Amino acid sequence: MSKRIPAVVFGATGYVGGELLRFIATHPSIGLAAAVSASSPGTRIAQVFPTLAGSFPRAEFRSADRALEEIADGDRLAVFSAAPHGASAPLVANLLERAEARGIEARVVDSSADFRYRDSASFEAVYGHAHPAPRLLADFACAIPEHSPDVPAKHIGHPGCFATASLLAAVPIFATGLIEADVFIAGITGSSGSGRSAGAGTHHPERHSNLYAYQPLAHRHRPEIEALIRAATGQAADVQFVPHSGPFVRGIYVTLHARLRKSIGTRELSAHFRDYYRNSRFVQVLDRPPRIKDVAASNNCHLSVTAERQHAVVMCAIDNLVKGAAGGAVQWMNRLWGLPEDSGLGAPAPAWI
């Protein structure tokens, strides 16, 4: 542990928190210092996540006040937050203040929505309340690693899972400058995307053998997708986004439809996508439509494209909890500390999940 960067995980009892613990358990350069839970301090990790019993047989969840107990003054610190929107920013702000007072060099990757916008007005317009820690916004940038070759800020706000899948599909085609600003995106997500707390949208009898749209053209990821397309490509985007709830637990499947300014073929467009992602360890462009089971539980993204006359369709499959949250967060943390980007993330999808 002394040779590994200690990590603190906020919101560690949730689905994304559990995935962060799973990746930290086998990470060669990052080790768990504190799994923080407001609801379960003192409870063993193995009791909440039996699959992690072999990795953390005696470790317990801690309160936020105890998060820095095992970290030496002047040490480094990797902070992952999977806390809920609105609750994450105060936790991060408090920990950063305490770490600075002890000379601890900290890097944060936040998987909530609290640091996805550069200014508090944009955040408030989408989420309907004032930002909890506006003074920290200037220290954060929001992007997915594949669209930001450099480390853009000291800390990272990870895009949402729907936004991640949509951006992986949208950014390369916007970067061509060949499409109109209007694009339609339909996305289907598994029940784990709604979090651990049970609700009507995640109740098994409602989702089993069922498929339905929700918040059509009004989902909160829409402005996030538009803003990040512009940030990555300089192109304006008018995204018509319709999310759906699918009858499975893990994964997101996105289909993007765009109108091209000139006719190009599938082979030409596929070649552009392959060139765009040529240095991206976790993105593969296929010759056939992707499938969720081929990426579930991994940090991989599978894409495919089809073009006919002036119409283009891009399909994208990712795991919502991994590439869309915990895996992407670990990928960013690796880069923030100058580690190999795929450290701890190399396991392939199990396929029969």
Angle at 133 between CA 131 and CA 136, to 5 degrees: 120
The verdict on domain 5-142 having CATH code 3.40.50.720 is yes
pLDDT score for 1: 41
DSSP string, 18-32: HHHHHHHHT-SSEEE
CATH number of 161-320: 3.30.360.10
Return the domain boundaries, the chain: 5-142, 161-320
Annotated catalytic residue: which of 142, 161, 301, 316? 161
Tell me the pTM. Answer: 0.96
CA atoms of 103 and 293, how far apart (whole Å): 45
Angle at 279 between CA 273 and CA 284, to 5 degrees: 50
Contact indicator for 85, 113 with CB cutoff of 8 Å: yes
Number of H-type helices and E-type strands within the chain: 9, 14
| Helices 161-175 and 266-276: angle between axes, nearest 10 degrees | 110
Q: Which residues pair with 107 in a beta bridge?
A: 78
Residue 307 CB contacts under 8 Å (≥ 6 apart), including other chains: 260, 264, 265, 266, 268, 269, 313
Annotated catalytic residue 161: yes
Dihedral (Cα; 292, 299, 112, 14), 10-degree rounding: 80
Nearest to 183 by CA among 242, 268, 234, 270: 242
Q: What pLDDT tens digit does each residue of the chain (353 aa) get?
A: 447 999 999 999 999 999 999 999 999 999 999 999 999 999 999 999 999 999 999 999 999 999 999 899 999 999 999 999 999 999 999 999 999 999 999 999 999 999 999 899 999 988 888 999 999 999 999 999 999 999 999 999 999 999 999 999 999 999 999 899 999 999 999 999 877 777 777 788 888 999 999 999 999 899 999 999 999 999 999 999 999 999 999 999 999 999 999 989 999 999 999 999 999 999 999 999 999 999 999 999 999 999 999 999 999 999 999 999 999 999 999 999 999 999 999 999 998 87
CA atoms of 169 and 173, how far apart (whole Å): 8
pLDDT score for 2: 47
The amino acid at residue 163 is A
